[in-house]
Chain A
Amino acid sequence: MYSIYNPEAETMPKDRLRELQSERLVRTVKRVYENVPAYRKKFDEAGVRPEDIKSIEDLTKLPFTYKQDLRDNYPYGLFAVPMDDIVRIHASSGTTGKQTVVGYTRNDLKVWGEVMARTIGAGGITNKDIGHISYGYGLFTGGLGGHIGSETIGCATIPASTGNTARQVTILLDFKPTFLLCTPSYALTLAEYMAEHGITREQLSLKCGFFGAEPWTRGMQQDIENRLGIECFDIYGLSEIIGPGVAYECQAHEGLHVAEDHFILEVIDPSTGKPVPDGERGELVFTCITKEALPLIRYRTHDVGYIIPEPCKCGRTHARISKLLGRTDDMLIIRGVNVFPSQIESVLTSLEGIAPHYQLLVDRVNNRDSLTVLVEMTEENFTDEVRKIEAMAVKVRREIENVLGISVDVRLVAPKTITRFEGKAVRIIDKRKLRE
């Protein structure tokens, strides 16, 4: 049996789901047109009126919303309700410009609690469980998103937040949480700390973990499962849509279900904006159809994935997407070839004895792009003999070249030399950009 938190919503017949999406879309479009001047202008410029949108079939008539729209209307310009109705503000880090600010009404928080409860509930978690939330609490939606889902189910919830790995491990040992929420790279940091201090996975009470906020592969998932002795579930979300809980993995572990009664999914070709056939890689685009404060229409996520069209064994009717395959803006173009860091990670994690810690170094030497993959040497794959290590480096290089179709260099580096923040790993150093 597969655990489902809200069977009525999550296994709703497809045609009923489509009707519900249509109803909610029509209402949302009307509301944003009336209440958000920036959207009215956008729709007018695109020559589309709310009455043109009669069902989900008409979705593609609507213009896209971009991150730039949020920046142009910073901080509250896209809110569709008066500030009196806003009860929560979150914001995403503004590494490439102004931060993007999102708001929630009381009802939006209820929706968020619901979709995060579905996420955690999909792992078989009930109110008997204890949750350890190691996403950052603050403007970032990870911490409070995990928190609201855990509390909605009725779990005892530990707001551990990030940092202080020693204390986190003490909490894992002493408070006996049964599930963990954090970034996958932080889960590995915890596992490493435990290994260094002789703490075994058997000493923990964890059954499962919900990991997201950065792309990670099936191989990295298996690594966490082995080292922490838990079942791993992937979470997908972004603050602009609601935060974590937009899509979540079920116990079938064959993709992530989008909470389609709240968010309409499209997968498009990022260069043309046209939908791609199911199963084909493209950019994920979401439309919020139950959000009150910030109902974004056709929001371009820059996240790359594809739709898995076959119905899921778990019985959910909601569309499934693949694990994230990277970002349209993380995509490196090397000698004209599109390279996603996730492709390299897949190779590394599929090779026996290779640690998934890697970094990509891109440079331009004599007007030619070069890609060097730094891979950390670990005791498990270290041998005393130069030729065996060199053979391993050659094997890694050949496998990567097979997948990418371009030549690369592989350099083995000492353990822990690759920068790791307690949140996200630094995966790419593109020296071409530094030199331009």
Chain B
Amino acid sequence: MTIKQLSIFVENRVGALLDVTSVLRENNIDMRAFSVAETTDFGIVRLIVNKPGKARELLRAAGLTVVETPVIGVLLEDTPGTFHSVLETLFRARISIEYTYAFAKNSGTHKAYMMIRVEDPENAAKVLTEAGFTLLTPGDAYEE
């Protein structure tokens, strides 16, 4: 149960993010989640969109460097300690997290998804499902 995340290389310069968002806007692609990892010289934009295949081709055609990375999304109740129990479950299985970021499910539902990147996402998905967590499904995430 993995989700296709688009990872895009951006240089550290004024307007670099606009190169990405303008392609999405012009083609009416909806962003589900957005996160940026930054270093001194460059950044990596991480995106979950409603049409990952189409978005990837369009971003590439615009001259951007794009790779698809499998990640998992875990549904969290809006109560203290839920993310902690996700991390505990992964820790018990000795799964190391590369990075993680959150986005709200839908406005008004008081639920959120934590997107998590691990070395072996299939295995992590299995561990979390067995522990009773609900995962974001491709059907929830995209329209393709």
Q: Hey, which bits of chain A sit against chain B, CB under 8 A?
A: 377-379, 382-386, 389-390, 393, 411-417
Contact = CB atoms under 8 A, between A and B. Distances in A.
A417 B39 contact: no
Q: What DSSP secondary structure best describes chain B's contact surface?
A: strand
B67 A411 contact: no
A415 B65 CA distance: 7
B82 interface: no
A386 B39 contact: yes
A414 B41 CA distance: 11
B144 interface: no
Given A386-B37, A412-B42, A379 B65 contact: yes
Given A377-B42, A384-B7, A384-B46, 8 more contacts: A377-B65, A378-B65, A382-B65, A384-B69, A386-B44, A411-B41, A414-B10, A415-B65
B9 A377 contact: yes
Interface string B27-67: 00000000001010110101000000000000010011111
Q: What DSSP secondary structure best describes chain A's contact surface?
A: loop
26 contacts: A377-B9, A377-B42, A377-B65, A378-B65, A379-B65, A382-B9, A382-B65, A383-B7, A384-B5, A384-B44, A384-B46, A384-B117, A385-B98, A385-B99, A386-B39, A389-B42, A389-B44, A390-B39, A393-B41, A411-B41, A412-B42, A414-B11, A414-B63, A414-B64, A415-B64, A415-B65
For chain B, which range describes its interface: under 10, 10 to 19, 20 to 34, or 35 or more residues?
A: 20 to 34
A379 B56 CA distance: 12
Contacts of B60: 379
A382 B66 CA distance: 8
A414 B39 contact: no
A413 B11 contact: yes
Contacts of B39: 386, 390
A379 B11 CA distance: 14
B67 A382 contact: yes
A416 B66 CA distance: 14
Nearest to B69: A384
A412 B69 contact: no
B67 A417 contact: no
Contacts of B63: 414-416
Q: Which of B9, B42, B69 has the most CB of A within 10 A?
A: B9
B67 A383 contact: yes
B118 to A, nearest CB: 11
Contacts of B69: 384
A379 B10 contact: no
A382 B44 CA distance: 10
Contacts of A415: 63-65
Nearest to B68: A384
B126 to A, nearest CB: 21
A413 B42 CA distance: 8
A386 B65 CA distance: 14
Contacts of A416: 63
A416 B61 CA distance: 12
B42 A379 contact: no
A245 B104 CA distance: 67
B67 A414 contact: no
Nearest to A412: B42
Nearest to B46: A384
A414 B10 CA distance: 7
B67 A384 contact: yes
A379 B41 CA distance: 18
A227 B128 CA distance: 44
| 6 closest A-B pairs by CB | A384-B7, A384-B69, A382-B65, A414-B11, A377-B9, A411-B41
Contacts of A384: 5, 7, 44, 46, 67, 69, 117
